[in-house]
A and B are shown apart, each in its own frame.
Chain A
Amino acid sequence: MKINKVKYIFRSLFLQGFWNSRKMQNVGMLFTMYPYLLELYSATPKFLKRAIQRNLETFNTNPAMVSFCLGAVMRQEQVLQKVHNNVNTFYEQEKEWVIIRSSVASTVASLGDRLFWSTLKPLSLVLAFTVLYLGQVYCLNDSVQVENLNLMVICALAFAFFTYNIPVLITRYKGFTLGYEGTEETFFGLTKLNWNKIITVLKTIGQVLTLFVFVYGLYFYFEGSVIDADIITKVILLSSFIILSVFIKQWDIPNIYLYLASVLVFNIVTLF
């Protein structure tokens, strides 16, 4: 059976279209698989209903890496369709289907969250920041006087967009083939790449660029300032909040609470 990869990858963009608190992406996964199931079980409506029911089980994974699951599950659906006349083998293979679906989903969820949410997304932001700085757009300051602001902004946004989306699209496309053609030995193609190494390299690049942005930003923030009481107060307050933000990370307190606390503290200080 020939599978139109692009069609299913496109449908997988709607994976979270019916995100619900009970079974998460189950309807989205069924939506992605639907034409495939209709085609596969066109001659056996009874098995089609069972396949729909099966595909409505709880499903949750990282959307950028769902194609690994999609490929592996489609392959197993084919096995199920072939053995549907033999009840015992069918039940065995159906159990296998459940194991494949849940194990691939949880593994790619963990990998995808680490790679795309925790690494590539912040990396794309810091890359945009770097492009802006190189174009002398210091967005941490109050005003800007750059002649080619529009061009620099477009470049920065394009960098951020492609840094994130090109790897996502490649993963979606390649992941489908790897998942479909992969075996349990290669964990449906997932062991073909050293994910930890990729993540470590990207995180290191991110650290270096963030340090650059931080130091460069501080330099331009205080450039030309005369050392007086006002600037000393600014430096002390800024340093305290920077130290505090590092400190509160130990308890996993988000930055947003530090901002709200700063609003409160500054209001109290200025009022009295």
Chain B
Amino acid sequence: MILQLAGFCALIALLELDTTYVGQFLISRPLFIGTIIGALTGNLFLGLQVGIFTELIYIDYMPIGGAIPPSGTITAALTLLMNYFFKMDIYFAFFVGIVCGQMFAFVERYLRNKRGKILEHVEKKLVDMKITPGKVIFKSILIEFIAVFVFIALSMIVFGPLFAYLHQDISDKVHVAFKFAYYIVPWVGLCGLLLSFSTKPKED
């Protein structure tokens, strides 16, 4: 199980690089990540559904300028991994995924600020030609990979057993509430999607 989990963490960390750092072919978008993990865990339809729900719920976030939106990749991936490894009900897993996706935005902000702090030192070395920009970028990408890997692994280690511990005490009413909130997501998201295609300029 640990090896399998590590494999998933590595795969997600690798694909997550596509969000910002390498390529941006959008293979890291929840639709793809969800479907890939769904296929690997033997539930393609669930993966597809989680991927679409995640995309729809994050539809109003754009990585414009310096904005750091919550990570849809982390949300979709963790939702499916929690469901697969800890048999967490999908509506609870989605909630955990959303929380983790938001938390990862803080990790990303921290990493970008950290790079900002060492920038002066890096620039000096680049101008003096003591290092090449390729090396700088490679190190940065490697650190990002490790950060995502650790973040996913830690989230799984913390939230998975916590859910298993609490599971029996969760009343049926809470199940109903989370389930209904989960099935509200696509409709709310579709409204957001429709409005995102609005051609009218925004009023101030």
Contact = CB atoms under 8 A, between A and B. Distances in A.
Contacts of A199: 199
A132 B26 CA distance: 19
A210 B193 contact: yes
Contact of A255 (B21, B52, B180, B188): B188
Contacts of A26: 119
Given A49-B127, A255-B56, A266-B176, 7 more contacts: A21-B116, A122-B196, A129-B52, A206-B196, A238-B187, A245-B192, A256-B57
B185 interface: yes
A128 B123 CA distance: 43
24 contacts: A13-B22, A17-B21, A19-B21, A26-B119, A27-B122, A34-B134, A49-B128, A63-B24, A122-B59, A122-B197, A157-B35, A164-B25, A204-B197, A207-B198, A241-B188, A242-B188, A242-B191, A255-B56, A256-B98, A258-B188, A262-B180, A262-B184, A263-B177, A271-B174
Nearest to A125: B55
B188 A34 contact: no
Contacts of B178: 263, 266-267
Given A19-B20, A204-B199, A263 B191 contact: no
Interface string A21-65: 111101110110010000000000000010011001000100110
Interface stretch (A77-85, A90-98, A112-120): A112-120
Which residue, B133, B137, B195, has most C-beta atoms of chain A within 10 A?
Answer: B133
Given A122-B196, A139-B45, A254 B177 contact: no
Contacts of B48: 132, 137, 139, 153
5 closest A-B pairs by beta carbon, nearest first, are A17-B137, A266-B177, A20-B115, A31-B133, A21-B116
Contacts of B32: 157, 160-161
Contacts of B116: 20-23
B120 to A, nearest CB: 8
B191 A125 contact: no
Nearest to B122: A27
A58 to B, nearest CB: 10
B137 A20 contact: no
Contacts of B65: 60, 109
A149 B44 contact: yes
For chain B, which range describes its interface: under 10, 10 to 19, 20 to 34, or 35 or more residues? Answer: 35 or more
A4 interface: no
A213 B57 contact: no
Nearest to A32: B133
B115 A263 contact: no
A24 B66 contact: yes
Given A20-B116, A249-B192, A203 B199 contact: yes
A128 B31 contact: yes
Contacts of A245: 187-188, 191-192
Nearest to A268: B177
Contacts of B189: 255
A27 B126 contact: yes
A242 B128 CA distance: 58
Given A119-B197, A153-B35, A214-B190, A34 B132 contact: yes
Contacts of A259: 57, 98, 181, 184-185, 188
A16 B185 contact: no
Contacts of B22: 13-14, 17
Contacts of B127: 49, 52-53, 56
